[in-house]
């Protein structure tokens, strides 16, 4: 059973640029969620995808967008990067019903300079 | 709205001593509750979860947690801490049955272990 893998592990971007982060969900999981974790904080929910449709969104601006593909992998895109976007971005996969819990990847550390 | 409070930002315990990390939640129904651990620079690893049934749940690495509805608490315990337990611990409230409500995390408790 494979876990959740995220890429890249680290990257540095300049303010105003765009970034794409990738996530491969755990085998058999059809739901992917993305979280932003600022330094010293708990993870904050960005959005969730189920069967390629967004079905939940947190308090993040539209410049945060995502995709889910037929194989349930996912992308997080952030446009017009701001310094405050610097954070650890975590992807979690699960089944549509929460009984099995969520499996998290190791995250992508984004630094905006 | 759902919320999770972890009152202790940082706790230091001696190796071999017992540990209790506190978690209080606010939720309108029977919650799904989770404890995750995060080592520096790493993702989140699930320690244990509570959905229903026995209010004392056992997890990995010798951890357990007790759900107390009357106190809206889900405290994490370990009888004897090991140096490798030093990490950040997060309590989270899970989604409703439809599964389209996200996990809501507390701000975490950092555990330091001293010799």
Q: Which of B49, B51, B107 has the CB atom closest to A42's CB atom? A: B107
Q: What is the pLDDT of residue B27?
A: 81
Cβ neighbour number for residue B50 with a 10 Å cutoff = 21
Using a CB–CB cutoff of 8 Å, tell me whether B103 touches chain A.
Answer: yes
Q: What is the pLDDT of residue A90?
A: 96
Contact predicate A94/A102, CB 8 Å: yes
Residue A11: name the closest of A86, A83, A90, A106 by CA.
A86
Q: List B residues 61-100 in contact with A (Cβ-Cβ < 8 A).
A: 90, 92, 94-95, 97, 99-100
Using a CB–CB cutoff of 8 Å, tell me whether A97 touches chain B.
Answer: yes
Phi-psi region of B28 (alpha: psi -120 to 50; beta: other; left: phi over 0): alpha
Q: What is the pLDDT of residue B1?
A: 74
Helix, strand or coil, per DSSP, at residue B39: coil
Q: What is the dihedral of CA A3, B9, A110, B84, to 10 degrees?
A: -50
Query: Per 3-state DSSP, what percentage of chain B is helix, strand, and coil (rounded to 5)?
Result: 10, 50, 45
Q: What is the pLDDT of residue B54?
A: 87
Query: In this complex, do A96 and B44 lie within 8 Å of one another by their Cβ atoms?
Result: no
Reported confidence tier of residue B101, pLDDT bands at 50, 70, 90: low
Query: In this complex, do B108 and A41 lie within 8 Å of one another by their Cβ atoms?
Result: yes
Contact predicate A32/A48, CB 8 Å: yes
Query: In this complex, do B42 and A90 lie within 8 Å of one another by their Cβ atoms?
Result: no
Query: Which residues in chain A touch residue B3, judged by CB atoms under 8 angstroms apart?
Result: none
Contact predicate A64/A46, CB 8 Å: yes
Query: In this complex, do A90 and B46 lie within 8 Å of one another by their Cβ atoms?
Result: no
Using a CB–CB cutoff of 8 Å, tell me whether A29 touches chain B.
Answer: no
Query: Per 3-state DSSP, what percentage of chain A is helix, strand, and coil (rounded to 5)?
Result: 5, 50, 45
Reported confidence tier of residue B100, pLDDT bands at 50, 70, 90: low
Q: Residues for chain B: how many in total?
A: 115
Q: What is the pLDDT of residue B29?
A: 74
Q: Could you read off the pLDDT tens digit of each residue along chain A, which spans 113 residues?
A: 568 999 999 999 999 999 999 999 988 888 899 999 999 899 999 999 988 999 889 999 999 999 999 988 999 999 999 999 999 999 999 876 655 678 899 999 999 99
Q: Which residue has the higher pLDDT, A57 or B98?
A: A57
Closest-CA distance, B27 to chain A, in angstroms, reads 16
Question: CB-based contacts of B114: which residues, under 8 Å, 6+ apart?
Answer: B12, B13, B14, B15
Query: In this complex, do A48 and B41 lie within 8 Å of one another by their Cβ atoms?
Result: no
pLDDT (tens digit per residue) in B13-34: 999 999 999 999 998 777 889 9
Query: In the structure encoding, which two tokens stand for residue A112, read together?
Result: 């905006």
């Amino acid at each position: 059973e494979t876990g959740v893998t995220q890429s890249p592990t680290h990257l540095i971007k300049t303010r105003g640029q765009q970034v794409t982060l990738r996530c491969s969900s755990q085998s058999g999981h059809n739901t992917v969620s993305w979280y932003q974790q600022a330094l010293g904080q708990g993870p904050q929910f960005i959005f969730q995808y189920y069967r390629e449709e967004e079905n939940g969104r947190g308090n993040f601006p539209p410049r945060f967008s995502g995709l889910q593909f037929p194989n349930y992998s996912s992308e997080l895109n952030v446009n017009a990067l701001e310094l405050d976007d610097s954070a650890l971005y975590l992807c979690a996969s699960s089944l549509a019903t929460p009984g099995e819990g969520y499996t998290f990847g190791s995250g992508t550390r984004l630094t905006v300079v | 709205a759902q919320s999770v409070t972890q009152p202790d930002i940082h706790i230091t315990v001696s190796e071999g001593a017992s540990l209790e990390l506190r978690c209080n939640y606010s939720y309108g129904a029977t919650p799904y509750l989770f404890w995750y651990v995060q080592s520096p620079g790493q993702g989140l690893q699930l320690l244990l979860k509570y959905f229903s049934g026995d209010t004392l749940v056992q997890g990995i690495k010798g951890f357990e947690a007790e759900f107390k509805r009357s106190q809206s608490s889900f405290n994490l315990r370990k009888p004897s801490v090991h140096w490798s337990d030093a990490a950040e611990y997060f309590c989270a409230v899970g989604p409703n049955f439809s599964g389209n409500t996200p996990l809501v995390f507390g701000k975490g408790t950092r555990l330091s272990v001293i010799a």
